[in-house]
Amino acid sequence: MASLLEISDVSVRFGGLVAVDGVSLAVGAGEICALIGPNGAGKTTLFNAVSGNAAISSGRILLKGEPIHGLAPHQISAKGVRRTFQNGGLFAGLTALENVLVGLHAKVGSGFLGLLAGARASERAESSSTEQARALLDLMEVGHIADELASDLSGGQQRIVEIVRAIATEPPLLLLDEPAVGLAPHMREQLVRIIRRLAAEQGVGILLIEHAIELVMAVADRVVVLNYGRKVADAPPEQVRADKAVLEAYLGHA
């Protein structure tokens, strides 16, 4: 059976700079794949290529066997690829609950504006969606901030709300860009449980960039290591930890 996401011999160039150099990897449904490497290794550029925010110079990117390279970000998102960003992406003027409702609006017929306005035709959808959004926030232990403005939340709280918004649409593929940034230890533990549950119970394929190696080792089924834009390892966490090429990439020696 074909992988959910297939990245085949992908390169990304910016003028004379080769940011990603012939990288291939695959993510299956229900699989958690971590993408790691030193700063400047090409991790975020590869994420940008998958989500449509960077054009590839060569190779191909397939989602469920269909090419998505060359599509606009909103077209890729409509096909079920959801992404969180390293620097966050919440609507500062909306509450945490409303930000999650933004993620849910495509699943209800009345539209998000109707949900916020409380139009009579949207009352049933509003009630159902609000209940679902609150349940998701509770699941991530941030239900108590549901009615607070995103601009008033801590960095860690904003990160959790962004992840909740991303999973609200039940996407087949989730791209997490450093999800543990700004999270307290107990939040990191909760994040690991949620990521595992999404993969195991809902079959979501997850590709994540993360510098917190302990989180990577705790949650990933496979770890792909990039260095200078090239893939130097692709194996289960315990094998990658002992890989000489990985030690060389991170420490300068094996």
Is pLDDT of 247 > 90?
no
Give yes or no for residue 108 having a pLDDT over 60: no
User: 209 φ, ψ to 5°?
Assistant: -100, 130
Return the percent helix, strand and coil in the chain, to nearest 5: 45, 25, 35
Q: Which pLDDT belongs to residue 182?
A: 78
CA–CA separation, 142 and 133 (whole Å): 11
pLDDT at 113: 55
What's residue 114's pLDDT?
56
pLDDT of residue 168: 87
Read off the pLDDT of residues 22-64 as tens digits, 9 standing for 90 and up. Answer: 999 999 999 999 999 999 999 999 999 999 999 999 999 999 9
Confidence of residue 106 (pLDDT cuts 50, 70, 90): low
* Better-scored residue on pLDDT, 249 or 222: 222
> Which segment of 4-18, 56-70, 73-87 scores lowest on mean pLDDT?
73-87
Asked whether the predicted pLDDT for residue 117 surpasses 60, the reply is no
In the structure, what pLDDT confidence band is assigned to residue 122 with cuts at 50, 70 and 90?
A: low
Mean pLDDT of 62-86: 93
Instruction: For 165-211, write each residue's pLDDT tens digit.
Output: 988 888 999 999 999 887 888 888 888 988 998 899 889 999 999 98
- For tokens 């409702």, what's the residue? 101
Helices within the chain (DSSP H only): 43-51, 73-78, 96-104, 112-117, 123-139, 155-167, 185-202, 213-219, 237-241, 244-251
Per residue in 138-154, pLDDT (tens digit) is 988 899 999 999 999 98
* The pLDDT value given to residue 251: 58
Q: Are 217 and 237 spatial neighbours (Cβ–Cβ below 8 Å)?
A: yes
Determine which of 7-11, 215-219, 223-227, 246-250 has the lowest per-residue pLDDT on average: 246-250
pLDDT for 112 = 56
